[in-house]
Amino acid sequence: MREGADESDPLWTVGRVCLWPNGFFLGEHFEWRVPVDDENMLSVTWSFIRVPKEAEPYEQKRIPAWTSPIRDVATGRWITSHVVNQDIVAWVGQGAIADRTKENLGASDRGVSMLRKQLFQRHRRDRRRQRPQGPDPRSGAQRSASSCPTSAGSSTPRA
């Protein structure tokens, strides 16, 4: 929660939307993380600022993009001025892959245990080539769009 906010703040009451397994919709931006190999990932962030209604429709000629540095070139220190950069420092700071067989999960880690159990069940199902969960794309059924709540009280950006 942000300084000066209370429990009625939308960031507390609405929260963020986790689009498993790799996506997070955080109200004003979307983050996507894709494994590259066992120890690296690509982290992509899409940010948007809604155009005022009186300026619609707005045609943007170019969508700016850049690769953000994670270390200060002059000092070699991690750049921690933004939340995403702070996340990167936390990920890198954990080191190589932990040996989960030596892990001792407690009662507060029940959700972690439940998620792992679910992922392992689905993995075994996939290995047996059983029908995956969710809508069958071969059925021809149309999928409906879902909207994600934002901390500003509206839904995802309009198409």
> What's the pLDDT tens digit per position in 65-117?
888 888 999 999 999 998 888 888 888 888 888 787 888 888 888 888 888 88
DSSP letter for each residue of 111-158: HHHHHHHHHHHHHHHHHTTPPPSS--GGG-PPPPP-----TTSS-SPP
| Range scoring the smallest mean pLDDT among 15-29, 70-84, 118-132, 139-153 | 139-153
- The answer on pLDDT for 158 being more than 50 is no
With a threshold of 0.75, does the pTM exceed it? no
148 neighbors 17 (Cβ within 8 angstroms): yes
Please tell me the predicted confidence (pLDDT) of residue 73: 94
Please tell me the predicted confidence (pLDDT) of residue 76: 94
More confident position, 76 or 4: 76
Q: Where are the domains of the chain?
A: 1-92+150-159
Number of H helices, E strands in the chain: 3, 4
